[in-house]
Amino acid sequence: MIQDATIRVTLFKSKTLANGEHPLMLVVTKDGKRKYSALGISCHPDKWNFQKNEPKKNHPDKLKIETIIAKRIAEIQSKALDLKLYDKDFTSDSLVATVQKPRGANDLFAYVDGLVANFIQNKEVGNANLYRDVTRILKKFAAKKTLPFSDIDVHFLNRWESHCKNKNMAETSLSVYFRTLRAIFNRAIKDHIVSVNYYPFRDFKISKFDTRTRKRAIDKSDIQKIKAVNVIGKPVVQLSKDVFLFSYYGQGMNLTDIAHLRWSQIVQDRLFYVRAKTGKEFNLKLMEPARQILEYYRPLTGGNPNNYVFPILNTERHITPIQIDNRIHKMNSLINKHLKAMGQTAGIETPLTTYVARHSYATVLKTSGISIAVISEALGHETEAITQTYLKSFENSVIEEANENLL
């Protein structure tokens, strides 16, 4: 322990490499706050002694791994001692940052592993998944296990952009991935991992990507077409259809909130939930089509008030935040796949996704003459400055009366 700072090595089992190994990381803790720092090496769990936190004796690279670990720990301890001698305070973040050399040769993938570990530690699962997605795509493009920051110049970014477009990636997705890569660079510069001289985003402009939202709403006639699609004997297709319609008739409820919905949140003809994205509380009256969907699932999942309503999450298998997030992400892709096929079968031009239901809810109300303010309140858009300037709170009866326009 150096000035209330502890340093230990850990086999980071939340990330599994293609060869079955897990990254080795240092965990620096000070004042109860942890900072993960990737060592750029990995180990198979069968070759790791978890009691002693070191490679097993039969590991072929035991000496090499122990040398790398010891060297990095010594660097951090030495820096911490220097700070103590000069009576300078530090955090776990700043301590790790000071021992990193601003070299372009530092590996971006190893650095992101450390960021992901910190995201998971802080339960920022969405950020963890996004950063992992970006590095996964970069690894396929670069076709190598390491990617020095110095290799990522404007020419590299232009080639990656062309590669993604050849894969028919939407420009909205391109914008998200390139903005994430830019955020990684900014973090790395702040952490003294890479010199600002290697920053490529002065000349590569992300603003060029067309991020305008395409049409993502259908009208009431298309809703009727979806309701008419025969899904008997196809459980996953049935679930996809029911999730879409429940969102539409459930005030634009999104998939994450639908997946988390438990029977205990349904009291008579009302549904109570807190929107995961904003923390806003909802108390809404169940419309008849939504109530009928719930009655279909009651014999299947309604045996316990704590059970999830829809067979998306399982209380026994999906426990940790990352397990839950990964499951919802996987089911979202599967449901959207079936919705697109369903839309084509029904002759609907707009590609269907779970989010189309939310957009359609808002659009149908708008075309029915409902004010933007009421719709904004119904959707829980608390951050819309224009509506919030005069919107305080609407009675449930106002929104419930507006919802009748959906039928």
> Each residue of 202-259: pLDDT tens digit?
999 888 886 665 557 888 999 999 999 999 899 999 999 999 999 999 998 999 999 9
Q: Is the pLDDT of residue 391 over 50?
A: no
Same domain, 20 and 168: no
DSSP-based three-state secondary structure for 310:
coil
Same domain, 10 and 89: yes
- Contact in structure between 108 and 147 (CB atoms under 8 Å): yes
Same domain, 112 and 15: no
Among the three residues 99, 120, 145, which one is the final residue of a domain in this structure? Answer: 99
Contacts of 279 (CB under 8 A, 6+ apart): none
Q: Is the pLDDT of residue 1 over 50?
A: no
> Each residue of 321-352: pLDDT tens digit?
888 888 998 999 999 999 999 999 999 988 99
Same domain, 178 and 89: no
User: Domain containing 285 — which CATH number?
Assistant: 1.10.443.10
> Each residue of 18-55: pLDDT tens digit?
788 999 999 999 888 888 888 878 899 999 999 999 99
Contacts of 261 (CB under 8 A, 6+ apart): 271, 273, 308, 309, 310
Q: Is the pLDDT of residue 265 over 90?
A: yes
pLDDT value of residue 57? 92
- Confidence grade of residue 388 (pLDDT, cut at 50, 70, 90): very low
Name the residue range of residue 309's domain: 220-406
- Contact in structure between 260 and 308 (CB atoms under 8 Å): yes
Same domain, 295 and 384: yes
The token duo for 270 is: 């009302």
- Confidence grade of residue 389 (pLDDT, cut at 50, 70, 90): very low
The token duo for 285 is: 């009256």
Among the three residues 56, 81, 99, which one is the final residue of a domain in this structure? Answer: 99
Residue 186: count other Cβ atoms within 10 Å of its Cβ. Answer: 13
Same domain, 205 and 67: no
Same domain, 226 and 342: yes
Q: Is the pLDDT of residue 153 over 60?
A: yes
pLDDT value of residue 16? 85
Same domain, 169 and 81: no
Same domain, 271 and 317: yes
Q: What is the CA radius of gyration of the chain?
A: 25
pLDDT value of residue 309? 95
Distance of alpha carbon 240 from alpha carbon 231, whole angstroms: 10
Lookup result for tokens 């955020």: 183
Distance of alpha carbon 379 from alpha carbon 359, whole angstroms: 10
Residue 85: count other Cβ atoms within 10 Å of its Cβ. Answer: 9
Number of domains in the chain: 3
Same domain, 83 and 190: no
Q: Pick 178 or 400 by higher pLDDT.
A: 178
pLDDT value of residue 347? 93
* Span of 294-308, 327-341, 363-377 with lowest mean pLDDT: 363-377
What letter would DSSP give residue 286? P
pLDDT value of residue 213? 55
Q: Is the pLDDT of residue 5 over 50?
A: yes
Same domain, 174 and 225: no
Q: What's the per-residue H, E or C state across 139-190?
A: HHHHCCCCCEHHHCCHHHHHHHHHHHHHCCCCHHHHHHHHHHHHHHHHHHHH
Q: Is the pLDDT of residue 392 over 60?
A: no
Give the mean model confidence (pLDDT) for residues 359-376. 77
Same domain, 326 and 394: yes
Q: Which helix (H) or strand (E) holds 29?
A: strand 22-30
Give the mean model confidence (pLDDT) for residues 306-324. 90
pLDDT value of residue 364? 82
Give the mean model confidence (pLDDT) for residues 254-279. 91
Residue 213: count other Cβ atoms within 10 Å of its Cβ. Answer: 7
Among the three residues 184, 212, 240, which one is the final residue of a domain in this structure? Answer: 212
Q: Is the pLDDT of residue 400 over 80?
A: no
pLDDT value of residue 399? 61
